[in-house]
Amino acid sequence: MTKKLYSALLTSFNADGTVNEKGTREIVRHNIDVNHVDGLYVGGSTGENFMLQTATKKRIFEIVKDEAGDDVDLIAQVGSIDLQEAKELANYVVNDLGYKTISAVTPFYYNFSFPEIKYYYDEIVKDVNANLIVYSIPALTGVSLSLDNFAKLFENPKIIGVKYTNADFFLLERLRNRFPDKKILFGTDEMLLPALSLGVDGAIGSTYNVNAARAKAEIEAFEAGNMQKALDIQHETNDLISAILGNGLYQTIKLLLQDMGVEAGYTKEPMHKPTPEMKTTASEIYAKFLKN
């Protein structure tokens, strides 16, 4: 399988919001030893990163690197609306922990101009010997990058690609066509198959923490030219995703991992803790879609 599959890594939190180190290590091991993913995307939306203090982010990067070692590819998402924090995290993960690839979400909230966005990315990579993958997720950031914007970002040789979490398939096709040598990792799990058809290099997603086997089978079917099998798997996946979304995305993925014997912990406030009804529904989802 030439296309790579990355889990957008969850963080296990204790009930009081502190990091559950044992649980986080278990999530890492589950992804490596059971899911057999190619890599982990650490510190992204799925890791509840944007609700964390700098020291907590550093600790999570440290735990994951210590547990995973060089077993799989690791991508550290260091982006922040605070550029100095982003630079500090980039320096820490690369120079202190040995991450080889970093990623950064587009700076959000203040409607930054594109020259400001480009400055942000150039500054993050300026003083570190690492490659950077732009994290484009306009549904959550409100920041939409155009084809020409990407072209200007890619002028920096350290910026090697994009985590493309976007339903704009016209832009995706144009990106692939214009930048055949840049890495495009697709971030919308429920639309993996059409993204594969447009030539993405792989995928990063939250549901791969529990659904990696299906995603890998779908990629294998696609690469073998068995489009009907790939489509059937995508239908199954989307039934699962619909059920997860209807019950609460991050809470439910953590509950599913609990059913798999992984200490996935709680979500961080102000995300709410799962209700008894959510727990019951999650167990039903597990029995229907994931239990062997």
Task: Kindly list the catalytic residues.
Answer: 135, 163
Known binder of ligand: residue 204? yes
- Is 27 annotated to bind ligand? no
Contacts of residue 192, defined as CB under 8 A and 6 or more positions apart, other chains included, come to 186, 203, 205, 215, 218, 219, 234, 237
And the tokens for 9?
Answer: 């890594």
- Cβ neighbour number for residue 53 with a 10 Å cutoff: 9
Token pair 């979304």: residue: 245
- Residue reference for tokens 């994290």: 135
Query: 195-218 burial by CB neighbour count: b if 16+ within 10 A, else e?
Result: bbebebebbbbbbbbbbbebbbbb
Residue 69 burial (10 A CB sphere; 0-12, 13-18, 19+): exposed
CB atoms within 10 A of CB 182: 18
Q: Decide if 251 contacts 280 (C-beta within 8 A).
A: no
Residues annotated within a binding site? 46, 204
Residues annotated within a binding site for pyruvate? 46, 204
